[in-house]
Copies of this chain bind each other. A is one copy, B any other.
Amino acid sequence: MSSTNVGRITIHDVAAAASVSIATASKALNDTGRMSVETRARIRRVAQELGFRPNALARSLLSKRSFTVGLLTNDTYGRFTLPVMAGISEGLIDHGVSVFLCAIEDNPDLAKLHVDAMLDKQVDGIIATGRRIDKPLPVDLSHLPIPIVYALMTGPADAVALVPDDRQGARDAVNHLFDKGRRRLVHVTGPASFKVVEERTHAFRDALATAGMTPSEAQILTGAWSEQWGREAVEKLWSQENPPDGIFCGNDQIARGVIDALREKDVGVPNDVSVVGFDNWEIVAEQTRPPLTTVDMNLKELGRQAGRALVRLVNGEIVEPGVSKLPCTLVIRGS
Protein backbone atom coordinates (compact mmCIF):
# COMPACT_ATOMS: atom_id res chain seq x y z
CA MET A 1 0.00 0.00 0.00
CA SER A 2 1.41 3.31 -0.97
CA SER A 3 -1.19 4.98 1.19
CA THR A 4 1.09 4.46 4.15
CA ASN A 5 2.87 7.56 2.92
CA VAL A 6 2.19 10.33 5.32
CA GLY A 7 2.53 12.91 2.58
CA ARG A 8 -0.06 14.13 0.22
CA ILE A 9 -1.10 11.97 -2.66
CA THR A 10 0.91 12.34 -5.79
CA ILE A 11 0.44 11.62 -9.41
CA HIS A 12 2.02 8.24 -8.73
CA ASP A 13 -0.93 7.36 -6.53
CA VAL A 14 -3.34 8.47 -9.20
CA ALA A 15 -1.52 6.49 -11.84
CA ALA A 16 -1.45 3.40 -9.68
CA ALA A 17 -5.10 3.69 -8.78
CA ALA A 18 -6.02 4.07 -12.42
CA SER A 19 -3.56 1.35 -13.50
CA VAL A 20 -1.70 3.55 -15.91
CA SER A 21 1.76 5.06 -16.02
CA ILE A 22 2.45 8.42 -14.48
CA ALA A 23 3.13 9.76 -17.95
CA THR A 24 -0.35 8.86 -19.03
CA ALA A 25 -1.81 10.21 -15.83
CA SER A 26 -0.06 13.51 -16.34
CA LYS A 27 -1.27 13.76 -19.88
CA ALA A 28 -4.81 12.91 -18.89
CA LEU A 29 -4.88 15.60 -16.28
CA ASN A 30 -3.31 18.25 -18.45
CA ASP A 31 -5.39 17.46 -21.48
CA THR A 32 -2.36 16.74 -23.58
CA GLY A 33 -1.06 13.64 -25.32
CA ARG A 34 -3.18 10.99 -26.94
CA MET A 35 -5.37 8.41 -25.30
CA SER A 36 -8.91 7.12 -25.46
CA VAL A 37 -11.55 9.35 -24.05
CA GLU A 38 -12.49 6.60 -21.63
CA THR A 39 -8.99 6.39 -20.21
CA ARG A 40 -8.79 10.13 -19.83
CA ALA A 41 -12.12 10.27 -18.08
CA ARG A 42 -11.24 7.39 -15.81
CA ILE A 43 -7.94 8.91 -14.74
CA ARG A 44 -9.63 12.19 -14.08
CA ARG A 45 -12.30 10.58 -12.03
CA VAL A 46 -9.75 8.71 -9.98
CA ALA A 47 -7.74 11.89 -9.43
CA GLN A 48 -10.87 13.66 -8.37
CA GLU A 49 -11.83 10.91 -5.95
CA LEU A 50 -8.38 10.86 -4.43
CA GLY A 51 -8.40 14.62 -4.17
CA PHE A 52 -5.22 14.86 -6.12
CA ARG A 53 -3.61 18.30 -6.40
CA PRO A 54 -0.36 18.65 -8.27
CA ASN A 55 2.66 19.85 -6.34
CA ALA A 56 3.32 23.34 -7.59
CA LEU A 57 6.95 23.15 -6.54
CA ALA A 58 7.70 20.21 -8.77
CA ARG A 59 5.84 21.82 -11.58
CA SER A 60 7.66 25.11 -11.18
CA LEU A 61 11.00 23.41 -11.10
CA LEU A 62 10.41 22.16 -14.57
CA SER A 63 8.50 25.04 -16.08
CA LYS A 64 10.70 27.78 -14.69
CA ARG A 65 7.57 29.61 -13.69
CA SER A 66 6.69 29.70 -10.04
CA PHE A 67 3.46 31.68 -10.35
CA THR A 68 4.68 33.65 -7.43
CA VAL A 69 5.66 37.29 -7.22
CA GLY A 70 7.16 39.39 -4.50
CA LEU A 71 5.66 42.50 -3.00
CA LEU A 72 8.20 44.80 -1.48
CA THR A 73 6.96 47.59 0.74
CA ASN A 74 8.49 49.91 3.25
CA ASP A 75 5.14 51.04 4.56
CA THR A 76 4.28 49.52 7.88
CA TYR A 77 1.55 51.92 8.51
CA GLY A 78 -0.32 51.10 5.40
CA ARG A 79 -2.96 53.66 4.87
CA PHE A 80 -2.00 53.83 1.23
CA THR A 81 -0.21 50.58 0.79
CA LEU A 82 -2.80 48.21 2.11
CA PRO A 83 -5.44 48.91 -0.52
CA VAL A 84 -2.74 48.59 -3.14
CA MET A 85 -1.65 45.28 -1.69
CA ALA A 86 -5.19 43.99 -1.55
CA GLY A 87 -5.70 44.99 -5.17
CA ILE A 88 -2.53 43.21 -6.21
CA SER A 89 -3.48 40.07 -4.36
CA GLU A 90 -6.96 40.12 -5.83
CA GLY A 91 -5.82 40.80 -9.33
CA LEU A 92 -3.24 38.06 -9.28
CA ILE A 93 -4.96 35.16 -7.60
CA ASP A 94 -7.20 34.86 -10.63
CA HIS A 95 -4.10 34.07 -12.62
CA GLY A 96 -3.01 31.54 -10.04
CA VAL A 97 -0.28 33.85 -8.89
CA SER A 98 0.57 34.16 -5.21
CA VAL A 99 2.20 37.12 -3.55
CA PHE A 100 5.10 37.14 -1.14
CA LEU A 101 4.73 39.92 1.38
CA CYS A 102 8.03 41.56 2.17
CA ALA A 103 7.89 44.25 4.81
CA ILE A 104 11.21 45.99 4.70
CA GLU A 105 11.34 49.01 6.92
CA ASP A 106 13.82 51.42 5.46
CA ASN A 107 16.48 48.91 6.19
CA PRO A 108 18.77 48.05 3.27
CA ASP A 109 19.96 44.82 4.86
CA LEU A 110 16.44 43.64 5.48
CA ALA A 111 15.55 44.59 1.93
CA LYS A 112 18.44 42.60 0.55
CA LEU A 113 17.52 39.65 2.71
CA HIS A 114 14.03 39.67 1.30
CA VAL A 115 15.09 40.15 -2.27
CA ASP A 116 17.54 37.28 -2.00
CA ALA A 117 14.92 35.07 -0.42
CA MET A 118 12.55 35.87 -3.23
CA LEU A 119 15.09 35.16 -5.91
CA ASP A 120 15.95 31.88 -4.23
CA LYS A 121 12.29 31.02 -4.27
CA GLN A 122 12.20 31.82 -7.95
CA VAL A 123 9.62 34.55 -7.98
CA ASP A 124 8.54 35.46 -11.48
CA GLY A 125 8.63 39.16 -10.76
CA ILE A 126 8.52 41.84 -8.11
CA ILE A 127 6.19 44.70 -7.35
CA ALA A 128 7.73 47.54 -5.44
CA THR A 129 5.56 49.86 -3.46
CA GLY A 130 6.09 52.28 -0.65
CA ARG A 131 5.08 55.01 1.59
CA ARG A 132 6.15 57.73 -0.67
CA ILE A 133 5.99 58.04 -4.41
CA ASP A 134 9.22 59.91 -4.80
CA LYS A 135 11.37 58.08 -2.31
CA PRO A 136 12.99 54.93 -3.64
CA LEU A 137 13.22 51.73 -1.68
CA PRO A 138 16.55 51.11 0.04
CA VAL A 139 17.51 48.51 -2.53
CA ASP A 140 18.31 48.57 -6.20
CA LEU A 141 16.00 46.38 -8.22
CA SER A 142 17.02 47.50 -11.65
CA HIS A 143 19.49 44.76 -12.44
CA LEU A 144 17.50 41.79 -11.34
CA PRO A 145 16.90 39.02 -13.87
CA ILE A 146 13.13 39.32 -13.45
CA PRO A 147 10.60 42.00 -14.31
CA ILE A 148 9.77 44.74 -11.84
CA VAL A 149 6.70 46.92 -11.58
CA TYR A 150 6.55 49.98 -9.40
CA ALA A 151 3.20 50.73 -7.83
CA LEU A 152 2.49 54.02 -6.11
CA MET A 153 6.12 54.75 -6.66
CA THR A 154 8.41 55.54 -9.53
CA GLY A 155 11.58 53.68 -10.35
CA PRO A 156 14.25 54.18 -12.98
CA ALA A 157 13.14 56.06 -16.08
CA ASP A 158 12.57 53.01 -18.25
CA ALA A 159 10.76 51.01 -15.59
CA VAL A 160 7.07 50.26 -15.58
CA ALA A 161 5.41 52.34 -12.89
CA LEU A 162 1.83 53.09 -11.93
CA VAL A 163 0.84 56.11 -9.91
CA PRO A 164 -2.35 58.05 -9.41
CA ASP A 165 -2.91 61.00 -11.67
CA ASP A 166 -2.44 63.64 -9.02
CA ARG A 167 -2.84 66.49 -11.43
CA GLN A 168 -6.12 65.29 -12.78
CA GLY A 169 -7.40 64.62 -9.28
CA ALA A 170 -6.33 68.03 -8.10
CA ARG A 171 -7.86 69.66 -11.16
CA ASP A 172 -11.15 67.93 -10.50
CA ALA A 173 -11.03 69.13 -6.92
CA VAL A 174 -10.44 72.73 -7.92
CA ASN A 175 -13.06 72.60 -10.63
CA HIS A 176 -15.51 71.31 -8.08
CA LEU A 177 -14.82 74.39 -6.01
CA PHE A 178 -15.42 76.54 -9.06
CA ASP A 179 -18.67 74.72 -9.70
CA LYS A 180 -19.73 75.61 -6.20
CA GLY A 181 -19.20 79.23 -7.12
CA ARG A 182 -16.02 79.62 -5.11
CA ARG A 183 -13.51 82.06 -6.52
CA ARG A 184 -11.15 82.92 -3.66
CA LEU A 185 -9.28 79.65 -3.50
CA VAL A 186 -6.28 78.54 -1.53
CA HIS A 187 -4.35 75.29 -1.43
CA VAL A 188 -3.19 74.05 1.95
CA THR A 189 -0.85 71.14 1.50
CA GLY A 190 2.11 69.18 2.82
CA PRO A 191 5.85 69.68 2.70
CA ALA A 192 7.12 71.13 -0.56
CA SER A 193 9.70 68.39 -0.78
CA PHE A 194 7.05 65.82 -1.68
CA LYS A 195 6.50 65.07 -5.31
CA VAL A 196 2.76 64.83 -4.82
CA VAL A 197 2.76 68.31 -3.33
CA GLU A 198 4.46 69.60 -6.42
CA GLU A 199 2.01 67.82 -8.69
CA ARG A 200 -1.10 68.90 -6.88
CA THR A 201 0.17 72.44 -6.52
CA HIS A 202 0.96 72.55 -10.20
CA ALA A 203 -2.54 71.41 -11.03
CA PHE A 204 -3.98 73.97 -8.64
CA ARG A 205 -2.17 76.79 -10.40
CA ASP A 206 -3.05 75.37 -13.74
CA ALA A 207 -6.73 75.14 -13.00
CA LEU A 208 -6.78 78.71 -11.77
CA ALA A 209 -4.99 79.89 -14.85
CA THR A 210 -7.43 78.01 -17.06
CA ALA A 211 -10.25 79.79 -15.28
CA GLY A 212 -8.63 83.09 -16.18
CA MET A 213 -7.12 83.84 -12.79
CA THR A 214 -3.53 84.54 -11.97
CA PRO A 215 -2.61 82.40 -9.00
CA SER A 216 -0.37 84.06 -6.45
CA GLU A 217 2.12 82.38 -4.18
CA ALA A 218 0.08 83.50 -1.19
CA GLN A 219 -2.62 81.10 -2.26
CA ILE A 220 -0.40 78.12 -1.69
CA LEU A 221 0.46 77.17 1.86
CA THR A 222 2.82 74.30 2.48
CA GLY A 223 3.32 72.69 5.86
CA ALA A 224 3.06 69.30 7.49
CA TRP A 225 0.67 66.48 6.60
CA SER A 226 -1.20 67.00 9.84
CA GLU A 227 -4.43 68.22 11.30
CA GLN A 228 -2.46 70.71 13.29
CA TRP A 229 -1.09 72.31 10.18
CA GLY A 230 -4.63 72.50 8.83
CA ARG A 231 -5.70 74.36 11.91
CA GLU A 232 -2.71 76.67 11.81
CA ALA A 233 -3.32 77.44 8.19
CA VAL A 234 -6.84 78.55 8.98
CA GLU A 235 -5.55 80.78 11.74
CA LYS A 236 -3.16 82.36 9.32
CA LEU A 237 -5.72 82.78 6.57
CA TRP A 238 -8.36 84.25 8.80
CA SER A 239 -5.95 86.63 10.47
CA GLN A 240 -5.53 88.49 7.23
CA GLU A 241 -8.25 90.24 5.32
CA ASN A 242 -10.32 88.69 2.63
CA PRO A 243 -10.09 85.04 3.67
CA PRO A 244 -10.75 82.36 1.07
CA ASP A 245 -14.12 80.83 0.30
CA GLY A 246 -12.70 77.59 -1.07
CA ILE A 247 -9.91 75.47 0.35
CA PHE A 248 -8.29 72.59 -1.45
CA CYS A 249 -6.28 70.53 1.00
CA GLY A 250 -3.32 68.35 0.18
CA ASN A 251 -4.67 65.47 2.21
CA ASP A 252 -7.59 64.52 4.37
CA GLN A 253 -5.83 65.08 7.64
CA ILE A 254 -5.09 68.67 6.76
CA ALA A 255 -8.68 69.01 5.61
CA ARG A 256 -9.81 67.64 8.92
CA GLY A 257 -7.78 70.25 10.74
CA VAL A 258 -9.11 72.97 8.48
CA ILE A 259 -12.71 71.95 9.02
CA ASP A 260 -12.27 71.70 12.78
CA ALA A 261 -10.67 75.13 12.92
CA LEU A 262 -13.38 76.68 10.78
CA ARG A 263 -15.98 75.12 12.97
CA GLU A 264 -14.39 76.65 16.02
CA LYS A 265 -14.40 80.00 14.24
CA ASP A 266 -18.07 79.61 13.44
CA VAL A 267 -17.32 79.73 9.78
CA GLY A 268 -19.91 77.60 8.02
CA VAL A 269 -18.84 74.64 5.92
CA PRO A 270 -20.06 74.38 3.23
CA ASN A 271 -22.16 77.54 3.54
CA ASP A 272 -19.36 80.08 3.82
CA VAL A 273 -16.41 78.01 2.74
CA SER A 274 -16.08 74.84 0.71
CA VAL A 275 -13.35 72.35 1.57
CA VAL A 276 -12.00 69.53 -0.54
CA GLY A 277 -9.49 66.97 0.68
CA PHE A 278 -7.29 64.39 -0.95
CA ASP A 279 -6.95 60.63 -0.33
CA ASN A 280 -10.50 59.70 0.56
CA TRP A 281 -9.31 58.19 3.77
CA GLU A 282 -12.76 57.10 4.71
CA ILE A 283 -12.30 56.85 8.40
CA VAL A 284 -11.40 60.52 8.45
CA ALA A 285 -13.49 61.77 5.58
CA GLU A 286 -16.71 60.30 6.87
CA GLN A 287 -16.26 61.55 10.38
CA THR A 288 -15.60 65.20 9.72
CA ARG A 289 -18.46 67.56 10.23
CA PRO A 290 -19.68 67.84 7.56
CA PRO A 291 -18.38 64.73 5.84
CA LEU A 292 -15.47 65.58 3.61
CA THR A 293 -15.58 65.90 -0.13
CA THR A 294 -12.29 64.49 -1.29
CA VAL A 295 -10.30 62.87 -4.07
CA ASP A 296 -10.02 59.09 -4.18
CA MET A 297 -6.87 57.70 -5.77
CA ASN A 298 -8.47 54.33 -6.55
CA LEU A 299 -5.57 52.54 -5.01
CA LYS A 300 -7.09 49.11 -5.10
CA GLU A 301 -7.56 49.41 -8.82
CA LEU A 302 -4.01 50.64 -9.10
CA GLY A 303 -2.85 47.53 -7.33
CA ARG A 304 -4.92 45.35 -9.60
CA GLN A 305 -3.43 46.95 -12.67
CA ALA A 306 0.06 46.69 -11.28
CA GLY A 307 -0.50 42.97 -10.84
CA ARG A 308 -1.77 42.62 -14.35
CA ALA A 309 1.12 44.58 -15.78
CA LEU A 310 3.57 42.33 -14.02
CA VAL A 311 1.86 39.23 -15.33
CA ARG A 312 2.10 40.59 -18.83
CA LEU A 313 5.79 41.28 -18.37
CA VAL A 314 6.36 37.80 -17.00
CA ASN A 315 4.57 36.36 -20.00
CA GLY A 316 7.01 38.17 -22.21
CA GLU A 317 4.40 40.55 -23.54
CA ILE A 318 5.60 44.06 -24.00
CA VAL A 319 4.35 46.67 -21.60
CA GLU A 320 4.98 50.26 -22.39
CA PRO A 321 7.67 51.44 -20.01
CA GLY A 322 7.41 54.66 -18.08
CA VAL A 323 5.01 56.07 -15.58
CA SER A 324 1.31 55.43 -16.14
CA LYS A 325 -1.07 57.74 -14.39
CA LEU A 326 -4.36 56.27 -13.27
CA PRO A 327 -7.39 58.48 -12.91
CA CYS A 328 -8.56 59.75 -9.55
CA THR A 329 -12.21 60.12 -8.62
CA LEU A 330 -13.79 63.00 -6.78
CA VAL A 331 -15.99 61.72 -3.97
CA ILE A 332 -18.55 64.35 -3.19
CA ARG A 333 -19.74 64.51 0.36
CA GLY A 334 -20.93 67.46 2.36
CA SER A 335 -18.04 69.89 2.54
Task: Kindly identify which residue among B7, B101, B264 contacts A71, using a CB–CB cutoff of 8 Å.
Answer: B101
Known: A93-B110, A102-B89, A287-B228. A61 touches B64 (CB 8 A): no
Whether B100 and A54, one on each chain, are in contact in the complex, defined by CB atoms closer than 8 angstroms, is no
Q: Is A21 an interface residue (CB 8 A)?
A: no
Q: Is A117 an interface residue (CB 8 A)?
A: yes
Roughly how many angstroms separate A86 CA and B73 CA in the complex, as a whole number?
A: 10
Q: Is A179 an interface residue (CB 8 A)?
A: no
Closest to A231 in B: B289
Whether B120 and A55, one on each chain, are in contact in the complex, defined by CB atoms closer than 8 angstroms, is yes
Oligomeric state, in copies: 2
Task: Kindly identify which residue among B99, B103, B253 contacts A90, using a CB–CB cutoff of 8 Å.
Answer: B103
Residues in B with CB closer than 8 Å to A81 are 82
Interface size on A, residues (CB 8 A): 54
Closest to A260 in B: B260
Closest to A123 in B: B98
Q: Nearest-CB distance from A287 to chain B (Å)?
A: 5
Residues in B with CB closer than 8 Å to A110 are 90, 93
Closest to A7 in B: B64
Residues in B with CB closer than 8 Å to A85 are 101, 103
Whether A76 and B83, one on each chain, are in contact in the complex, defined by CB atoms closer than 8 angstroms, is yes
Q: Nearest-CB distance from A119 to chain B (Å)?
A: 7
Q: Nearest-CB distance from A69 to chain B (Å)?
A: 10
Whether B55 and A61, one on each chain, are in contact in the complex, defined by CB atoms closer than 8 angstroms, is yes
Task: Kindly identify which residue among B64, B68, B76 contacts A121, using a CB–CB cutoff of 8 Å.
Answer: B68
Roughly how many angstroms separate A81 CA and B68 CA in the complex, as a whole number?
A: 22
Roughly how many angstroms separate A264 CA and B260 CA in the complex, as a whole number?
A: 11
Q: Is A298 an interface residue (CB 8 A)?
A: no
Roughly how many angstroms separate A55 CA and B58 CA in the complex, as a whole number?
A: 12
Q: Nearest-CB distance from A12 to chain B (Å)?
A: 14
Roughly how many angstroms separate A299 CA and B253 CA in the complex, as a whole number?
A: 24
Whether A118 and B98, one on each chain, are in contact in the complex, defined by CB atoms closer than 8 angstroms, is yes
A-B contact pairs, 6 of them (CB 8 A): A53-B116, A55-B61, A56-B121, A57-B122, A76-B300, A85-B103
Question: Using a CB–CB distance below 8 Å, which chain A residues touch chain B?
Answer: 7-8, 53-58, 60-61, 64, 66, 68, 71, 76-79, 81-83, 85-86, 89-90, 93, 96, 98-103, 110, 113-114, 116-122, 145, 226-228, 253, 257, 260, 264, 283, 287, 300
